[in-house]
Structure 1
Amino acid sequence: MKYILTAEQMKAADGRTIHEIGIPSLVLMERAALQCMAAMKEEQIDLSYALVVCGSGNNGGDGFAVARLLAEEGKRVDVCFAGKLESRSEETKQQMHILENLGVSVGNTLPEKEYSVIIDAVFGIGLCRNIEGHYQNVIEQMNRYQGYKVAIDTPSGISADTGEVLGCAFRADLTVTFAYAKAGQVFFPGSEYAGKVLVKDIGITDPGFENRDDLYFMLEKQDVISRMPERKPDSNKGSYGRVLLIAGSRGMSGAAYLSAHAAYMVGAGLVRIYTEESNRQILQQLLPEAIITTYDEMALDCFRELPDLLQWADVVCIGCGLGISEYSRRLFKMTLEMNRKPCVIDADGLNLLAEFTEEERRKWARQKEQYVLTPHMKEMSRLTGYPVAELKNHRNALLREFVEKMQVVCAMKDSRTLVAACGHPTFLNSSGNAAMAKAGSGDVLAGTIAGLMAQNLPTFDAAVLGVYLHGLAGDTAREECGSYSVLAEDLIRGLGRTLKTLEENLK
């Protein structure tokens, strides 16, 4: 697990290191330059002729230090100062002065030459305004060079918090960032501008992170198996939980199949599908491992079995392919009124929840227990009333506002899915790819989370692990099928193959 910081959080950690621990800022700058050099050599970048473009702040100071180290190694290096002399930080003044004392001249225009590497040290992570005028011209010219492009700490012009392009931005092949990755290097489009991101240690730490819920964190592959429910030798299907999937309206058996299959694939012991009668035969053929219980919409008391089914289940998942008919509305409301088990609400379930009046939501809020909601951006917009664009621009703040109001776990699905709950830092997912943008992918995720919850994982932990594992399955599927041909069933196969590979790597 690793933490992902915003600009303000990074500045606070940096300040603590300087003022409380006592490591001078200039020392941290030297360490940053050394780590940048090490990273470029690690990536086998041609450093024979470098252009380093520096700004006025400490990011520029890092650049001047890197230029000095290149010169000391006998590399050809041109240095351009793109900032304002009067705005230089004290550390940047010192680094610039040292460089000039070594006989390396500093220009103020970008030469019309060819370089093996272009190093961006114009703006650091604190940039919060649009780039225009002189700075825009500088960055656009840097992008036109043909050499390999390296950004120090973060590409100039990318918001370190949101990944937004602030007017224009440097397009890096490699970003060398320090202490912690920044959120804007993970979110799109910042991720594309950052290229490959290497996080290097320069001695900045903050031991208080474990007790804070205003941070992002990410999982790594080695975290998966240690977080998976244990499979004990002395166990049976009852040991791994019973999932009730209320899914699939008339003629919509696919969503029920996909979610049920995914729940089994991550280890659930028993899965029962409660669906419309017309889906029985195809589901029995597609997934004979599942118990199929059906209702007939034409019957007078069509949902009479629902109370007993809810009592039977350890975990409920409702919404996949459910539709938004009057029958679906009735079934959904009955389930929420009677259910006392952990529950995943997905797809049409979210659309039906969005139709609730404030009074109905308050009534549900008094009765609910451990719910996980899995909306994509349009569904989240319906639930919150915020436009999609606003959700994207203020995603973590608005997500946390929602979970605090509703007291639920929420996995807000996007190219970078977030999972939030009260009392926890926000999970920022880094796994997955565009090949997963197909019908049925969300059904697989809902079943994955429900299957993990059935094995006694807490709701937040199950949602986090489910989202990450679902993305890894997508990465596995893309490797096998390519970027265009991945189907939801490939994600299910990818779940099994991913877990098997990760298990074997631990042996």
Structure 2
Amino acid sequence: MQYLVTSSEMQHYDAHTSQTIGLPALVLMERAALAVVNQLQTEDFNLSRVALICGYGNNGGDGIAVARLLKLHHIDVTVYLVGLPNSASAQTLQQIKIAQHYQIPVMTSLPDSLSSYTTVVDAIFGIGLNRNVSGEFLRAIELINQSHADVLAIDIPSGVCADTGKILGAAVKAKQTVTFAYSKLGLSFYPGLELAGKVTIADIGIYADKPASHYTFEQDDLDKLLPIRANDSHKGSYGKVLTIAGSQNMSGAAYLSAKAAYRAGAGLVRIYTPICNSTILLSQLPEALLSPFTPNHVNFTELETWINWASVIVIGPGMGVSDDSHQILSYVLNHATVPIIIDADGLNVLSQDLSLLKQAKSPIILTPHLGEMASLTKRAIDEIKHNLIAIAKTFSQKHNVICVLKDAKTVVAQPHKPTYINQSGNNGMATAGSGDVLTGIIAGLIAGHLPAAQAAPVSVYLHGLAGNNAAEKLNKYSLLASDIIEGLTHILPN
């Protein structure tokens, strides 16, 4: 697991390390500079002539220290200072004095162009920026982006909000970014993620005395995340998934969700669907149990039998928005005592009457994409897209649900717990049925005895890894939802 920290969390960790633990700030600055120089020297940067554009804060101090270390390697360096000298931190003033003793050119005005430099190091703002850039800072960013040189950003590209990834007026476009201790939240979301280029996290000795409020998974976590399968197990050992899905001419979503649940390890999957889907589902997925019903004549006594049979319930994929859908969703929420995953048309029905959630007696996972979240919250899609974390958190806490808000970087929010930000996946997964597959994976892991609070973020991560595997074998243009299911077979451990 990797922390994704906000600017205030990082500033707290930094202060705790230097002030409470007693590791001097100048030592941290030196270690940061060493990490940047190592990146410059081991990666594909042309170091024939290097300009370092530095602010007067500690980010600028890091940049000036980098200039000194490069000078020791006989590299031609020039430092350009941007901003007001009276705003300088004590550490940056010290670095300026040291650089001057090393006879490094330290210029207090920007050049007309940076075109003569082969590499530019961006050390203007760091993570503390909280307003739009203007004046001399704006000109510095424009000069960097116009230079055609290789650009390395220190900690975060200047002009990118460390908490959201938004551009604050203007921002540096870097080839690479070296960030310190932990990745910053703004490096996980577009456009910050794209502007940062390749991101390297450098350990410089900063100590986190409390957990961060956001996290992500890494490949090394995979074995520790999955439920354990016993050698003496049988199909009943891995739970029973009830998938309530499908409608007239909409059997595909039921198939994808049910098959994904099996591929994620479920022991038994039962599909509760209109009778018109029976033949095609039995032929597509003979492993599934089928319980068809007649539209407009739902037998709720029979439905209750299957609710009581299930270890986890999926409701919504391809089921349509109808009186049947509303009645079935209401009945499930009112009678189930096992985790319920509401997706697709289940969410569309729910958006008409959010009070249905008050009936729930068990953990609820909602898996909306942006359009479905707009219906649930009565907010514009653009507003949600640019405030994924805040909106997912607020909704989760207000309705006491686990909210899996799907986008290029999916967010999993749940009450009183850290928020998961997914880093796996690719744009080929933006295809019909991808969400049905995710719903099935969540159900499969819960059936295999992973608690809902863990199954939601783990499934999102697995879904992305499976999509990456499929894209490697095929390509991003041609990816189908069924390819993601097959990708699971290659990324899950034996």
Establish whether TM, by shorter chain, passes 0.5.
yes
C-alpha distance in structure 2 between counterparts of 1:86 and 1:4, whole Å: 32
Report the CA distance between 1:42 and its aligned residue: 2.9
- Look up the match of 2:323: 326
Report the CA distance between 1:383 and its aligned residue: 1.8
- Look up the match of 1:121: 123
Residues 217, 422 of structure 2: 8 Å contact kept: yes
Q: Residues 390-429 of structure 1: matches in 2 within 5 Å?
A: 390-429=383-422
- Look up the match of 1:156: 158
AA aligned opposite 2:323: E
Residues 114, 146 of structure 1: 8 Å contact kept: no
C-alpha distance in structure 1 between counterparts of 2:377 and 2:466, whole Å: 30
159-168 or 76-85: bigger deviation: 76-85
- Look up the match of 2:70: 70
* Alignment CA distance shift 1:298-1:381 (3 Å): closer
Report the CA distance between 1:28 and its aligned residue: 0.9
398-407 or 91-100: bigger deviation: 398-407
- Look up the match of 2:110: 109
Residues 416, 428 of structure 1: 8 Å contact kept: yes
C-alpha distance in structure 1 between counterparts of 2:351 and 2:51, whole Å: 54
- Match status 1:282 vs 2:280: yes
C-alpha RMSD of matched pairs (Å): 1.4
2:346 to 339, 344, 349: 349
C-alpha distance in structure 2 between counterparts of 1:20 and 1:387, whole Å: 45
389-398 or 35-44: bigger deviation: 389-398
Structure 1 ranges of 4+ moved more than 3 A? 301-304
Report the CA distance between 1:304 and its aligned residue: 4.1
AA aligned opposite 2:271: I
C-alpha distance in structure 1 between counterparts of 2:42 and 2:14, whole Å: 25
- Match status 1:376 vs 2:369: yes
- Look up the match of 1:131: 133
C-alpha distance in structure 2 between counterparts of 1:422 and 1:147, whole Å: 46
1:447 to 429, 433, 440: 440
AA aligned opposite 1:466: S
AA aligned opposite 2:336: N
- Look up the match of 2:170: 168
- Match status 1:340 vs 2:342: no
* Alignment CA distance shift 1:380-1:357 (3 Å): closer
User: Can you list the C-alpha shifts for 1:392-446, whole angstroms capped at 9, x where unaligned?
Assistant: 3433233222222211111111111111212321111000111100110000000
Residues 13, 209 of structure 2: 8 Å contact kept: no
Residues 428, 477 of structure 2: 8 Å contact kept: yes
SS in 2 for 1:226: helix
SS in 1 for 2:472: helix
AA aligned opposite 2:371: K
SS in 2 for 1:151: strand
C-alpha distance in structure 1 between counterparts of 2:263 and 2:388, whole Å: 31
AA aligned opposite 1:342: P
C-alpha distance in structure 1 between counterparts of 2:441 and 2:427, whole Å: 19
Q: Residues 235-384 of structure 1: matches in 2 within 5 Å?
A: 235-299=233-297, 301-356=298-353, 358=355, 360-362=356-358, 364=359, 367-384=360-377
2:204 to 170, 179, 202: 202
> Tell me, which stretches of 5 or more residues in structure 1 are unaligned?
none
C-alpha distance in structure 2 between counterparts of 1:357 and 1:187, whole Å: 29
C-alpha distance in structure 1 between counterparts of 2:186 and 2:357, whole Å: 34
AA aligned opposite 2:18: I
C-alpha distance in structure 2 between counterparts of 1:73 and 1:317, whole Å: 61
> Tell me, which stretches of 5 or more residues in structure 2 are unaligned?
none
Report the CA distance between 1:389 and its aligned residue: 3.1
Aligned length: 492
C-alpha distance in structure 2 between counterparts of 1:361 and 1:52, whole Å: 55
Report the CA distance between 1:370 and its aligned residue: 1.0
Report the CA distance between 1:54 and its aligned residue: 0.6
TM-score (norm: length of structure 2): 0.97
Residues 257, 287 of structure 1: 8 Å contact kept: yes
TM-score (norm: length of structure 1): 0.94
Q: Percent identity?
A: 46
- Look up the match of 1:185: 187
SS in 2 for 1:78: strand
C-alpha distance in structure 2 between counterparts of 1:386 and 1:313, whole Å: 35
User: Can you list the C-alpha shifts for 1:267-326, whole angstroms capped at 9, x where unaligned?
Assistant: 100101000111111111111110111001154x54441010101111100000010012
SS in 2 for 1:477: helix
